[in-house]
């Protein structure tokens, strides 16, 4: 309405004064005003300007008052998503050309010619929503992100694409899905969320890191080395621990590049790439969001061990097996639990582990912006206590994030992102897995804590009582760290030079500092003197012996990443589009570490400071290193009519990990897709929205191997004897004997160099099919993939001449790029989204199957075929095949003969009896020995992982759930003690339970196989277990459940949206044999043992979010 110069209200009517152009003024007024309006001509003449002369208009309003009755229906309101108002949303009236768009604050107003109509709300990346209206009024609409939508923006390598433009296998997880999880380790909330992404929860220890916390793989494992995916957070290379500790509310989206789409990252992409994008501000008024949560956690699979009387019975059965005298009389068994001083009945889990532990999280964020500056700022605080009753184990973390986007000119924009994490973790001085092992090894007939509160001796030597080991009375390990990150980006559009040309650059900085204080001190426990009714103090000790010891470590890691790209986008002849870029990248990693240690001389356990220790037991060490990488890369994307798509990428990486001649590698990829649904033969199929066929091929690399393998290496220091310094048995050239009798460290040659060492190479092929049906309510994606990984770096095997002084077993021979592994499988996802009245609902599932097979180069020469890894999955363990239990004397005699025939020079160390495990003579050679072992056809990482997720929204209520499971995985069940789980005790063989599931009473982890190994001279240990204990770790778990209620701002006095929610995590586990034993099917150590780690957690959360 530029023509209007003055508008004032007088006596309920509007008056227009002095306008120069009044053509179609009636139509203009009707479009502006939404009620009956009258207007009167003020000036006698109205004219418009033309050729610098005023002319009288040919259309003059009369002096009569004209009353206009606007008969149109007007609807207005606000359009928003879960994060707030959405500017720029398109609103149209279905079946007409009428339309409108939301303003800066997400508000809209639209006139309807009919009293009833249907409004269509559409926005890129969101589900289109239709709302029927029949009268004027306010209609507020909340849009949901459209995961299956063709216009959804997906982050891929150094760029973004809409989902319809993708030519490869890319899985995405929205920030909303991640935020629904109760676990504050967000990596665990990813399990079951995306096809191709395999996440295994290995334990819930506060602030846990590494393989004892979780394992993340993209489409399984393909190498004997590092299988971890490359993780980039806003373009900066990061680790799993950094991802796990991100605030879930700061994540906008997560993309998983599973095939050739990862090739743009070259030598680091063979294991897949995970791209995390954090939230940014958007145009609109400042939005403040405050969240507070309280969690309570317990073990997802609590262990029930046998009690004192059951233990005594079981122990007597073990002794009776060999005809010995029972350890416990019936009177002693009956007395167990009657006297806490002399005849206790101790539940070591109950004494050490609490029923639950608390966690709290508080967060505040502010986001918004104008045309020139947008911002997202957040602060998050998290505190997690452990399940140890001591209360001395916890993890705290504070973090902040500031993301700014600044418009300098219409062509130049810059981004300034700064974030930081500050953590403090307090743990016992004893490794957590040893604490849990000590629980299994402690007898229920020994005292944990006397009634007067004094700690008892426990079962293990030197007073290693689990109650004490889990407290700071034995020392502590305090680790505090900081992780500061900065990202500075620059975008310059060069349309004035060449339309579609632009320059993008960014610099990423990451600085990680960690300070560890490792304090060990002997402790005090007590023995009870029954005669004198007295308690006698004793000194307990553990890993460091009788002296107090303090070790302090400082570690610093600095990373610099510089990236610049030149981009060109164009479209010609309306049907052809090209998007291309070329770029260069430089990365530099520096690390420094220092360690100081003092042994003895500390006057008090309350003074853990280096200055207070003895200078006689002082030592210090340190090291530093620098790694560099330079890269050049390019990408070309072409499409014709949005029907045929082609992507080409090429990257060249140079790394100082490798020697001259092997420092550079080239990694190409090609992918394409064909949208069949746009072909004429399918365009009239009404129920088909999209059908797309895609394929990709790529060659990628993996350079995450130990450094300096291409050059000479030396060892510095004295002789090592079983890991202990030994100055009395020197190895020549290891140290120098000085003239004064002092020993001076010297050098000795280390592992032989391999100048030809290079990165692993991966050749990937992927074929995919995507379709959406029934107005995009049903969507699906299926991918078949195959990968061949060659040049895998494996230890050298074989013999060398003695005069060379080299030994493969002594790690003197260099590693070689000779391993080959094949990995094949498929993944798919299927989802349904619909609305019935006021109820919106969605349900979907995904599944990943990935099976690896060793082709060659992994096994030493001369190994029996049945023992080889070749032809079997990676990391498949060896085991003794079994055939149930020995249930007759004939079976017993036959097995004893097989064992005796293997020990012709003397009696066998082991004699089978009825109820024992029945072993199989696999090779039919008439003896039982190590040659009868075979490889399992699974490893401890599942070949199948799946998830089923869904949600229902009705009015202000919301319900979301996730079931997650796995299959085709095995776990070695760990029971290295006579204290067994209750389920195993109840299901053991006895003369009265001859059809039992488990063998008769035994004391070792795998019953007879340990004794069989001894009789055969086998001491390998850890690999030679009976098949009985190699258990299926398949399961289905209700992973996440959330119930929420939202009060909209118009219904609250605060003028804010209030969301109240309750969540559960790891709630129920189904179809798991291992869970029946009181163990979690996911929680195994890295080599596949169950029951040795801090378990996974079942978590309940209540919380609230206020947004205004």
Q: pLDDT value at position 661?
A: 87
Query: What secondary structure letter does DSSP report for 545?
Result: B
pLDDT band at 937 (very low <50, low <70, confident <90, very high): confident
Tell me the mean pLDDT in the region 152-179: 91
CA–CA separation, 148 and 125 (whole Å): 9
pLDDT band at 372 (very low <50, low <70, confident <90, very high): very high
CA–CA separation, 602 and 609 (whole Å): 8
Length of the chain: 1108
Could you give the C-alpha distances from 75 to 1, 113, 436, in angstroms and in order? 21, 11, 65
Q: Between these two residues, 182 and 306, which has the higher pLDDT value? A: 306
* Residue in 679, 862, 692 with CA at minimum distance from that of residue 772: 692
pLDDT band at 115 (very low <50, low <70, confident <90, very high): low
Q: pLDDT value at position 905?
A: 57
Element (DSSP H or E) covering residue 1010 = helix 1008-1015
Q: What angle do CA 589, 594, 600 make, to 5 degrees?
A: 160
pLDDT band at 706 (very low <50, low <70, confident <90, very high): confident
Q: pLDDT value at position 150?
A: 59
* Residue in 190, 195, 259 with CA at minimum distance from that of residue 671: 259
- Count Cβ atoms within 10 A of the Cβ of residue 667 and give its class: 0-12 exposed, 13-18 middle, 19 or more buried: buried
CA–CA separation, 943 and 1105 (whole Å): 39
User: Given a cut of 70, is residue 731 above it in pLDDT?
Assistant: no
CA–CA separation, 1053 and 1033 (whole Å): 52
Q: pLDDT value at position 425?
A: 94
Torsion angles phi and psi, residue 178, rounded to 5: -70, -35
Considering all CA atoms of the chain, what is the largest pairwise distance in Å, rounded to the nearest integer?
A: 131
Q: pLDDT value at position 729?
A: 42
In a domain, 456, yes or no: no
Residues contacting residue 1032 through CB under 8 Å, at least 6 positions apart:
969, 970, 1073, 1074
Tell me the per-residue pLDDT of 38-70, one tens digit each, with 9 for 90 and over: 444 444 443 333 333 333 333 434 444 333 334
Residues contacting residue 9 through CB under 8 Å, at least 6 positions apart:
none
**Residue 949 DSSP SS3:** strand
Last residue of a domain, one of 142, 169, 190: 142
Is 889 in the same domain as 1005?
yes
Torsion angles phi and psi, residue 133, rounded to 5: -130, 150
Domain count, the chain: 4
Question: Among 292-306, 491-505, 726-740, 1077-1091, whose mean pLDDT is lowest?
Answer: 726-740
Residues contacting residue 292 through CB under 8 Å, at least 6 positions apart:
360, 361, 362, 363, 1103, 1104
CA–CA separation, 605 and 608 (whole Å): 7
pLDDT band at 3 (very low <50, low <70, confident <90, very high): very low
Tell me the per-residue pLDDT of 889-935, one tens digit each, with 9 for 90 and over: 999 999 988 887 666 555 555 688 899 999 999 999 888 888 888 98
Is 964 in the same domain as 988?
no
Token readout for 749 is: 């040659």
Q: pLDDT value at position 1071?
A: 84
* Residue in 1019, 1028, 1017, 1015 with CA at minimum distance from that of residue 896: 1015
Tell me the per-residue pLDDT of 606-627, one tens digit each, with 9 for 90 and over: 899 999 999 888 889 899 999 9
User: Given a cut of 80, is residue 1036 above it in pLDDT?
Assistant: yes
Torsion angles phi and psi, residue 862, rounded to 5: 85, 5
Query: What secondary structure letter does DSSP report for 872?
Result: S
Q: Do the Cβ atoms of 1084 and 214 come closer than 8 Å? A: no
In a domain, 961, yes or no: yes
Is 896 in the same domain as 1017?
yes
CA–CA separation, 993 and 989 (whole Å): 5
CA–CA separation, 911 and 889 (whole Å): 13
Q: pLDDT value at position 708?
A: 84
CA–CA separation, 945 and 943 (whole Å): 7
Last residue of a domain, one of 1032, 1054, 1076: 1032
Question: Among 137-151, 483-497, 567-581, whose mean pLDDT is lowest?
Answer: 137-151
Question: Among 81-85, 173-177, 599-603, whose mean pLDDT is lowest?
Answer: 81-85
Q: Tell how strand 153-156 and strand 99-101 pair up.
A: unpaired
Is 1043 in the same domain as 922?
no
CA–CA separation, 157 and 634 (whole Å): 10
User: Given a cut of 90, is residue 1060 above it in pLDDT?
Assistant: yes
Token readout for 668 is: 């190409």
Is 955 in the same domain as 1059?
yes
Strand partners, 953: 840, 958
Is 1021 in the same domain as 1042?
no
In a domain, 990, yes or no: yes
Helix H segments across 816-933? 889-900
Tell me the mean pLDDT in the region 419-447: 89
CA–CA separation, 655 and 891 (whole Å): 61
User: Given a cut of 70, is residue 441 above it in pLDDT?
Assistant: yes
Tell me the mean pLDDT in the region 502-507: 97
In a domain, 102, yes or no: yes
Token readout for 81 is: 């998503």
CA–CA separation, 1016 and 620 (whole Å): 45
Q: pLDDT value at position 742?
A: 60
* Residue in 704, 663, 824, 666 with CA at minimum distance from that of residue 259: 824
CA–CA separation, 1074 and 480 (whole Å): 36
Strand partners, 747: 716
Alpha carbon 902 to its chain centroid, in Å, reads: 48
CA–CA separation, 771 and 675 (whole Å): 9
CA–CA separation, 478 and 476 (whole Å): 6
Q: Between these two residues, 981 and 363, which has the higher pLDDT value? A: 363
Q: pLDDT value at position 23?
A: 37
Q: pLDDT value at position 5?
A: 37
Q: pLDDT value at position 500?
A: 94
CA–CA separation, 213 and 896 (whole Å): 43
Q: pLDDT value at position 1076?
A: 72
Q: Do the Cβ atoms of 678 and 641 come closer than 8 Å? A: yes
Tell me the per-residue pLDDT of 1041-1054, one tens digit each, with 9 for 90 and over: 999 999 887 666 66
pLDDT band at 636 (very low <50, low <70, confident <90, very high): very high
Last residue of a domain, one of 92, 124, 142: 142
Could you give the C-alpha distances from 1051 to 838, 956, 1057, in angstroms and in order? 19, 11, 9
What beta strand segments (E) does 11-106 contain? 13-16, 37-39, 47-50, 53-56, 66-68, 73-81, 84-85, 90-93, 99-101
Q: Do the Cβ atoms of 155 and 277 come closer than 8 Å? A: yes
**Mean pLDDT, the chain, integer:** 84
In a domain, 518, yes or no: no
Is 959 in the same domain as 1080?
yes
Q: pLDDT value at position 903?
A: 61
Torsion angles phi and psi, residue 147, rounded to 5: -65, -35
User: Given a cut of 80, is residue 348 above it in pLDDT?
Assistant: yes
Secondary structure of the chain: what % helix, strand, coil (to 5)?
15, 50, 40
Tell me the mean pLDDT in the region 105-112: 85
In a domain, 1067, yes or no: yes
In a domain, 913, yes or no: yes
pLDDT band at 736 (very low <50, low <70, confident <90, very high): low
User: Given a cut of 90, is residue 151 above it in pLDDT?
Assistant: no
User: Given a cut of 80, is residue 1055 above it in pLDDT?
Assistant: no
Calculate what percentage of the chain has a pLDDT beyond 90: 54
**Residue 1072 DSSP SS3:** coil
User: Given a cut of 80, is residue 527 above it in pLDDT?
Assistant: yes
pLDDT band at 31 (very low <50, low <70, confident <90, very high): very low
User: Given a cut of 90, is residue 350 above it in pLDDT?
Assistant: yes
Is 1052 in the same domain as 1011?
no
CA–CA separation, 854 and 869 (whole Å): 6
Is 931 in the same domain as 989?
yes
Q: Between these two residues, 810 and 830, which has the higher pLDDT value? A: 830
Is 948 in the same domain as 983?
no
Is 909 in the same domain as 1055?
no
Torsion angles phi and psi, residue 803, rounded to 5: -65, -15
CA–CA separation, 692 and 675 (whole Å): 4
Q: pLDDT value at position 21?
A: 36
Q: pLDDT value at position 107?
A: 87
Could you give the C-alpha distances from 677 to 147, 166, 647, 768, in angstroms and in order? 20, 15, 20, 15
Q: Tell how strand 944-954 and strand 839-856 pair up.
A: antiparallel
Tell me the mean pLDDT in the region 783-801: 84
Question: Among 35-39, 251-255, 590-594, 957-961, whose mean pLDDT is lowest?
Answer: 35-39
CA–CA separation, 754 and 773 (whole Å): 56
Q: For the chain, how far is it from start to end, CA to CA, in angstroms?
A: 33
Q: pLDDT value at position 939?
A: 83
Other CB atoms within 10 A of residue 207 CB: 25
Quick one: CA torsion of 683, 684, 686, 688, rounded to 10 degrees?
A: -30
Q: Between these two residues, 59 and 162, which has the higher pLDDT value? A: 162
Torsion angles phi and psi, residue 6, rounded to 5: -155, 135
CA–CA separation, 459 and 445 (whole Å): 9
Other CB atoms within 10 A of residue 357 CB: 24
Other CB atoms within 10 A of residue 986 CB: 14
User: Given a cut of 50, is residue 172 above it in pLDDT?
Assistant: yes
Q: pLDDT value at position 975?
A: 66
Q: Do the Cβ atoms of 1095 and 299 come closer than 8 Å? A: yes
Q: pLDDT value at position 746?
A: 65
In a domain, 739, yes or no: no
- Residue 33 lies in domain: 7-68
CA–CA separation, 264 and 585 (whole Å): 12
Q: Do the Cβ atoms of 757 and 658 come closer than 8 Å? A: yes
Q: pLDDT value at position 951?
A: 95
Is 991 in the same domain as 1104?
no
Q: How much is the pTM?
A: 0.84
CA–CA separation, 915 and 886 (whole Å): 5
* Residue in 117, 25, 23 with CA at minimum distance from that of residue 74: 117
pLDDT band at 402 (very low <50, low <70, confident <90, very high): very high
């Amino acid at each position: 309405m530029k023509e209007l110069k003055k508008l004032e209200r007088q006596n309920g009517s509007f008056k227009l004064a002095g306008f120069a152009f009044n053509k179609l003024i009636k139509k203009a007024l009707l479009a502006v005003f939404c009620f009956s309006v009258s207007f009167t001509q003020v000036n006698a003449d109205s004219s418009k300007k033309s050729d610098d002369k005023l002319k009288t208009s040919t259309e003059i309003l009369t002096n009569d008052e004209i009353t206009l009755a606007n008969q149109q229906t007007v609807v207005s309101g606000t359009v928003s998503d879960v994060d707030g108002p959405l500017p720029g949303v398109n609103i149209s009236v279905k079946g007409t050309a009428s339309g409108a768009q939301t303003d800066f604050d997400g508000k809209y107003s639209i006139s309807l010619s009919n009293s009833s109509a249907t409004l269509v709300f559409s926005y890129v990346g969101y589900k289109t929503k239709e709302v029927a209206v029949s009268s004027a009024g306010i209609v507020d609409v909340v849009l949901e992100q459209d995961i299956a939508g063709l216009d959804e923006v997906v982050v891929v390598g150094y760029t973004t694409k809409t989902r319809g433009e993708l030519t490869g296998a890319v899985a995405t997880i929205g920030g909303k899905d991640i935020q629904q999880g109760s676990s504050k380790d967000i990596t665990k909330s990813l399990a079951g969320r995306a096809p191709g992404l395999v996440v295994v929860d290995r334990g819930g220890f506060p602030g846990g890191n590494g393989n004892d916390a979780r394992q993340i793989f993209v489409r399984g494992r393909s190498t004997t080395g590092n299988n971890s995916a490359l993780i980039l957070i806003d373009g900066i290379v990061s680790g799993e621990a950094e991802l796990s500790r991100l605030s879930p509310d700061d994540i906008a989206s997560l993309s998983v590049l599973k095939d050739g789409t990862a090739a743009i990252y070259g030598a680091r992409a063979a294991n897949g790439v995970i791209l995390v994008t954090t939230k940014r501000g958007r145009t609109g008024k400042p939005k403040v969001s405050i969240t507070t949560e309280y969690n309570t956690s317990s073990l997802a699979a609590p262990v029930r061990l046998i009690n004192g009387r059951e233990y005594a019975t079981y122990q007597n059965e073990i002794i009776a097996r060999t005809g010995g005298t029972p350890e416990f009389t019936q009177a002693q068994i009956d007395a167990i639990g009657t006297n806490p001083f002399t005849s206790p009945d101790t539940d070591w889990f109950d004494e050490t582990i609490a029923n639950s532990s608390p966690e709290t999280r508080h967060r505040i964020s502010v986001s918004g912006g104008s045309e020139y500056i947008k911002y997202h700022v957040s602060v998050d605080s998290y505190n997690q206590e452990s399940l140890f009753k001591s209360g001395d184990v916890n993890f705290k973390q504070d973090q902040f994030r500031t993301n700014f986007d600044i418009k300098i000119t219409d062509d130049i924009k810059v981004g300034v992102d700064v974030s930081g994490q500050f953590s403090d973790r307090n743990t016992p001085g004893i490794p957590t897995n040893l604490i849990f092992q000590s629980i299994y090894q402690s007898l229920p007939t020994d005292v944990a804590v006397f009634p007067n509160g004094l700690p008892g001796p426990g079962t293990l030597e030197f007073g290693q009582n689990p109650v004490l080991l889990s407290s700071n009375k034995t020392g502590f390990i305090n680790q505090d760290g900081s992780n500061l990150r900065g990202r500075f980006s620059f975008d310059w559009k060069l349309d004035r030079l060449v339309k579609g040309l632009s320059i993008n650059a960014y610099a990423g900085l990451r600085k990680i500092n960690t300070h560890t204080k490792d304090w060990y001190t002997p402790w005090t426990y007590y023995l009870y003197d029954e005669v004198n009714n007295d308690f006698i103090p004793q000194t307990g000790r553990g890993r460091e012996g009788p002296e107090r010891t303090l070790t302090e470590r400082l570690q610093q890691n600095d990373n610099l990443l510089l990236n610049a790209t030149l981009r060109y986008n164009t479209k010609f002849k309306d049907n052809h589009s090209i998007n291309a870029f070329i770029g260069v990248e430089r990365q530099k990693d520096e690390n420094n570490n220092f360690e100081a240690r003092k042994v003895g001389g500390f006057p008090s356990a309350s003074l853990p400071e280096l200055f207070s220790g003895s200078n006689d037991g002082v030592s210090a060490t340190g090291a530093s290193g620098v790694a560099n990488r330079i890269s050049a890369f390019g990408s070309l994307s072409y499409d014709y009519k949005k029907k045929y798509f082609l992507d080409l990428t090429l990257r060249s990486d140079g790394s100082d990990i490798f020697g001259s001649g092997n420092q550079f590698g080239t990694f190409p990829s090609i992918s394409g897709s064909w949208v069949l649904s746009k072909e004429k033969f399918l365009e009239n199929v009404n129920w088909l929205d999209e059908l797309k066929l895609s394929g990709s091929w790529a060659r990628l690399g993996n350079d995450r191997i130990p450094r300096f393998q291409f050059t000479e290496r030396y060892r510095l220091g004295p002789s090592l004897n079983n890991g202990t310094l030994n100055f009395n048995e020197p190895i020549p050239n290891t140290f120098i004997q000085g003239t004064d009798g002092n020993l001076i460290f010297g050098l000795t040659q280390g592992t032989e160099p391999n100048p030809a060492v290079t990165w692993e190479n991966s050749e990937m092929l992927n074929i995919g099919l995507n379709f959406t049906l029934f107005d995009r309510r049903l969507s699906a994606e299926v991918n078949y993939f195959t990968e061949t990984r060659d040049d895998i770096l494996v230890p050298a095997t074989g013999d060398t001449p003695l005069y060379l002084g080299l030994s493969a077993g002594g790690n003197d021979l260099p590693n070689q790029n000779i391993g080959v592994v094949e990995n094949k499988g498929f993944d798919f996802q299927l989802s349904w989204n619909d609305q019935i009245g006021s109820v919106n609902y969605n349900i979907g599932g995904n599944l990943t199957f990935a099976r690896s097979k060793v082709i060659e180069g992994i096994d030493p020469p001369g190994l029996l075929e049945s023992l080889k890894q070749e032809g079997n999955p990676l990391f498949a363990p060896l085991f003794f095949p079994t055939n149930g239990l020995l249930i007759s004397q004939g079976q017993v005699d036959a097995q004893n003969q097989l064992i005796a025939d293997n020990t012709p020079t003397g009696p066998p160390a082991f004699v089978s009896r009825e109820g024992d495990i029945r072993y199989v003579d696999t090779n039919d050679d008439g003896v039982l020995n190590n040659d009868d072992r075979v490889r399992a056809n699974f490893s401890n990482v599942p070949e199948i992982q799946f998830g089923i997720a869904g949600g229902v929204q009705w009015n202000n209520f919301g319900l979301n759930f996730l079931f997650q499971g796995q299959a085709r995985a095995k776990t070695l069940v760990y029971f290295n003690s006579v204290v067994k789980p209750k389920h195993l005790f109840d299901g053991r063989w006895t003369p009265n339970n001859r059809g039992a599931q488990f063998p008769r009473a035994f004391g070792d982890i795998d019953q007879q196989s340990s004794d069989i190994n001894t009789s055969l001279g086998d001491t390998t240990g850890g690999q030679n277990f009976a098949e009985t204990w190699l258990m299926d770790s398949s399961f289905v778990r209700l992973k996440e459940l959330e119930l929420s209620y939202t009060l909209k701002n118009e219904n609250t006095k605060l003028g804010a949206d209030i969301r109240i929610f309750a969540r559960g995590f790891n709630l129920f586990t189904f179809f798991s044999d291992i869970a029946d034993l009181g163990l979690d099917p996911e929680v195994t150590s890295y080599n596949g043992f169950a029951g040795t780690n801090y378990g996974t957690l079942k978590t309940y959360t209540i919380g609230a979010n206020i947004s205004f």
